[in-house]
């Protein structure tokens, strides 16, 4: 049975071919929601080769995000679902306003917001991180979810409830060296989640964080490649070192995160709010 049939969902940062946002959009659509898939304008280019995304290696060049979103809409429609693609930079108040207006115009409401867009800007040693990188990280990872939540809550209140699902990280729960800005913002996202859960629970709005661990997306592979370059070891060795701490000894898949989001978006989570749900394969969270 489809768990969220007739609901309307919006997912940010959904264009990456191997990203968590795309997997979430496909899963919510499979559960019966109409899904608004969004991402920043411009082109998507992988600057690295991974075994997970051979079709998007540098040799094959860049794809426009609009094309990638159109492809995602098509994939959802082929499944029998409904989707709408919109450009949305989560750091832009104007684009947020326009995207929510377009969503309401097309579907008449919004029930589920997934704040998935994320940025590893400022992932460097703490002393090397610039204020500009810190601000970029703040804009995408924390300010965007705050502004989007403010934009959708009145609609959810008018509909008698809704779900806001923030995609955090193990960086929401602990710290490892070299990810200062990301860790600070992802910790902040947990504070936002708890605030929304407490303040809007009486309106039937549930807000939770999903905290992925190592998930084999391009963002994760970029981090592996950066760490291997910094440490002067092969990517394979970096992966082995990082996954040695994972109880399941491997990275997860975007679909594993999408499963958690589908749970939190659906009726089985009717009495669940304000939590962090780790999808990590079992990792210690660091300090």
CA separation for the pair 163, 211 (Å, rounded): 16
Residue 278 in tokens: 């780790």
Residue 11 CB, nearest approach to ligand NAP (Å): 10
* Nearer of residues 121 and 206 to ligand NAP, judged by Cβ: 121
CB of 202 to ligand NAP, least distance (A): 28
* Nearer CB in complex with ligand NAP: 51/271: 51
Cα separation, 115 vs 140, whole angstroms: 10
Which of 7, 9, 39, 238 forms a contact with ligand NAP (CB under 6 A)? 39
Shortest distance, CB of residue 90 to ligand NAP, whole angstroms? 4
CA distances from 264 to 114, 224, 245, 276 (A): 10, 29, 27, 11
CA distance 214 to 216: 6
When asked if residue 40 is in the footprint of ligand NAP (CB under 6 A), the reply is yes
- With CA atoms as reference, report the closest residue to 146 among 128, 172, 164: 164
Q: Which stretch binds ligand NAP (CB under 6 A): 104-112, 157-165, 217-225, 263-271?
A: 217-225
Write down the H helix ranges in 31-143: 65-78, 93-107, 131-138
Contact call for residues 103 and 14 (beta carbons, < 8 A): no
Piece of 16-24, 50-58, 193-201, 233-241 that binds ligand NAP (CB under 6 A):
16-24
Cα separation, 120 vs 181, in Å, equals 8
The distance of closest approach from Cβ of residue 199 to ligand NAP in the complex, given in angstroms and rounded to an integer, is 23
Q: Which residue, 157 or 245, has its beta carbon nearer to ligand NAP?
A: 245
Work out the widest C-alpha separation in the chain, in whole angstroms. Answer: 55
DSSP string, 129-198: --HHHHHHHHIIIIIHHHHHHHHHHHHHHHHT-EEEEEE--GGGT---TT-HHHHHHHHHHHHHHHHHHH
Contacting residue, 4, 21, 81, 193, with ligand NAP by CB under 6 A: 21
Give the one residue of 46, 53, 87, 91 binding ligand NAP; rule: CB under 6 A.
91
Tokens 């991180």 belong to: 129
Determine, following the binding rule CB under 6 A, whether residue 215 of this chain makes contact with ligand NAP: yes
Choice from 218, 227, 228, 239 touching ligand NAP (CB under 6 A):
218
* Minimum gap (Å) between residue 3 Cβ and ligand NAP: 22
Candidate list 46, 217, 228, 238; residue touching ligand NAP; CB under 6 A: 217
Check if 182 is active-site.
Answer: yes
Residues that bind ligand NAP (CB under 6 A): 12-13, 15-16, 19-21, 39-40, 88-91, 116-119, 140, 167, 169, 212, 214-215, 217-220
Which residues form the catalytic set? 182
């Amino acid at each position: 049975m489809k768990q969220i049939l007739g609901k309307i969902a919006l997912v940010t940062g959904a264009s990456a071919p191997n990203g968590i946002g795309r997997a979430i959009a496909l899963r919510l659509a499979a559960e019966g929601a109409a899904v608004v898939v969004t991402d920043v304008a411009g082109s998507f280019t992988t600057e690295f080769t991974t075994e997970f995304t051979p079709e998007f290696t540098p040799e094959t060049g860049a794809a426009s995000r609009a094309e990638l979103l159109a492809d995602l809409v098509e994939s959802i429609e082929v499944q029998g679902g409904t989707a709408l693609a919109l450009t949305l930079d989560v750091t832009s108040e104007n684009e947020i306003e326009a995207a929510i207006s377009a969503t309401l115009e097309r579907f008449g409401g919004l029930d589920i917001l997934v704040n998935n867009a994320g940025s590893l800007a400022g992932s460097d040693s703490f002393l090397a991180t610039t204020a500009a990188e810190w601000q970029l990280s703040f804009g995408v990872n924390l300010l965007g979810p705050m502004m989007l939540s403010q934009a959708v809550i009145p609609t959810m209140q008018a509909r008698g409830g809704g779900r806001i699902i923030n995609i955090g990280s193990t960086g929401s729960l602990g710290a490892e060296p070299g990810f200062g800005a990301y860790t600070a913002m992802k910790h902040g996202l947990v504070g936002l989640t708890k605030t929304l859960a407490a303040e809007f629970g009486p309106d039937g709005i549930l807000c939770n964080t999903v905290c992925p661990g190592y998930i084999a997306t391009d963002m994760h592979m970029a981090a592996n490649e950066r760490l291997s370059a910094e440490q002067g070891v092969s990517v394979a060795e970096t992966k082995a070192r990082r996954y040695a701490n994972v109880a399941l000894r491997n990275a997860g898949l975007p679909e594993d995160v999408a499963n958690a989001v589908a749970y939190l978006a659906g009726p089985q989570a009717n009495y669940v709010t304000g939590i962090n749900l780790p999808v990590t394969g079992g990792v210690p969270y660091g300090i």
